[in-house]
Amino acid sequence: MRISKILERAKAGEQLSTQELVDLLSITDKNELQALYDCAYAIKEREVGTVAYFRGIIECSNICIKDCYYCGIRKSNRAVERFEMDEDEIFKEAVWAYKAEYGSCVIQSGERQDEEYISMIERVVKRIREATHGKLGITLSLGEQSEAVYRRWREAGAHRYLLRIETSNPELYAKFHPKDHLFETRKECLAALRRTGYQVGTGVMMGLPGQTMEDLVEDLLFLKRMDVDMVGMGPYIPHSDTPMGQEVRPYTDEQKKHALVLGLKMIAVTRIVLKDINIAAATALQALEYTGREQGLLCGANVIMPNVTETDYRPKYKLYDDKPCTDENSSLCRGCLSKRIKGIGETVGFGEWGDAPHFYKRTAK
Ligand code: SAH
Ligand code: SF4
């Protein structure tokens, strides 16, 4: 009863209290869960429509100078065989995404701050922009950089940037990162990205050890205060060769289910609160259940990031255990994803940038 009243108010566009948001995230009843997802879907339909946009993700290197305790490609993981694509390989994959009519590509890698890498990215972004006549959207997800570097890449032609805050609780942030990875720096980077004119996407991981529903609601309110255009968030999944993964241990089937539902609830509540932004159904959802990303679309997400990385490199870019599609090639990914999306009654926004209505409203002010 209480939940249906909250959802009615949400649908009518009323602002929900912190406690109400906690209540939504705490739902366990099957019918109430479905009602939450349906409410989020109705808001998505009204605010952004039922077109799913593809962003072809190129995971171009697993070399990283950082040591985040949760991540499989952290600097101290000696079990990882490191790889680095050259400029031509990245370019080739971006052109593949363009020809496949993906509206955008995302270039993602471990973090590097050396000039050689920075200028390689700058060159390749320029080349992609020129070769696709500015039609392929270029998103970067290359970690923390100086404002000057963000500006160089922006001027080269990138227009969106993904950098998760991971958690908006500074104490949790400190628990999951080494001492020299500062929460404040992360926040400053997000501000610098905004100043340099990017559409900024951020997000968090859900299900971190010690994280509460209240923390997740605070995360949502953080995203709201940041006035973001895009959110990319996903469940935390242990990686066995990491300090956190050693403590948490691989998920049992029960834990996987729980993590998936929490991820879906968080997407739904994000749609309810932030309404007209783009929300990505993270690949991590699919690691928990094969149809996880489609379920994400049905709970309010409207962006999917199919992998366009060369198949040989994929197993080496393992941020967490059970990462899906590591043995499929890009055209298989395109085919099976499109089919699955049509299967849930949505269309794919082929060839479109698919910017969030929020971005247009914000910039028209
Ligand atoms: N180095 C860049 C981009 C690659 S990591 C960066 O850190 O921004 C991209 C995202 O992967 C991170 O933001 C983190 O939220 C996510 N990630 C890393 N390890 C993960 C894990 N074990 N489970 C789920 N997501 C993880
Ligand atoms: Fe590096 Fe990003 Fe992984 Fe942190 S999350 S270790 S910055 S790749």
Spell out the domain ranges in the chain: 28-363
- Ligand 2 proximal residues by C-beta, below 6 Å: 64, 66, 68, 71, 73-74, 110-111, 143
Residue of 59, 70, 74, 204 best suited for mutating to test ligand 2, as the one with most atoms within 8 Å of CB: 74
CA of 157 to the centre of ligand 1 (A): 24
Q: Whose CA is nearest to atom 10 of ligand 1?
A: 164
What whole-number percentage of the chain has pLDDT above 90? 82
pLDDT at site 90 = 96
Q: Please answer whether residues 208 and 245 qualify as being in contact, where contact means their C-beta atoms are separated by less than 8 angstroms.
A: no
Ligand 2: which atom is nearest the Cα of residue 109? Answer: 8
Strand-pair partners of 234: 205
Q: Which residues in the chain come in under a pLDDT of 50?
A: none
pLDDT at site 365 = 66
Residue of 59, 70, 73, 177 best suited for mutating to test ligand 2, as the one with most atoms within 8 Å of CB: 73
What topology does CATH give the domain 28-363? TIM Barrel (3.20.20)
Both structure tokens of 164: 């998760």
pLDDT in tens, 103-132: 999 999 999 999 999 999 999 999 999 999
Q: Where are the alpha helices (DSSP H) in 205-329?
A: 213-226, 243-248, 253-274, 283-288, 292-298
Residue 322 Cα distances to 115, 123, 236, 318, 365, angstroms: 34, 33, 12, 8, 44
Question: Rounded to two decimals, what is the model's pTM?
Answer: 0.96
pLDDT in tens, 145-179: 999 999 999 999 999 999 999 999 999 999 999 99
Query: Could you say which ligand is closest to the alpha carbon of residue 234?
Result: 1
pLDDT at site 332 = 64
pLDDT at site 264 = 97
Q: Whose CA is nearest to atom 8 of ligand 2?
A: 110
Ligand 2: which atom is nearest the Cα of residue 319? Answer: 3
CA of 248 to the centre of ligand 2 (A): 18
Nearest to 186 by CA among 172, 358, 197: 172
- Ligand 1 proximal residues by C-beta, below 6 Å: 70-71, 108, 110-111, 141, 143, 163-164, 166, 205, 234, 236-237, 239, 284, 319-320
Q: What angle do CA 285, 337, 86 make, to 5 degrees?
A: 85
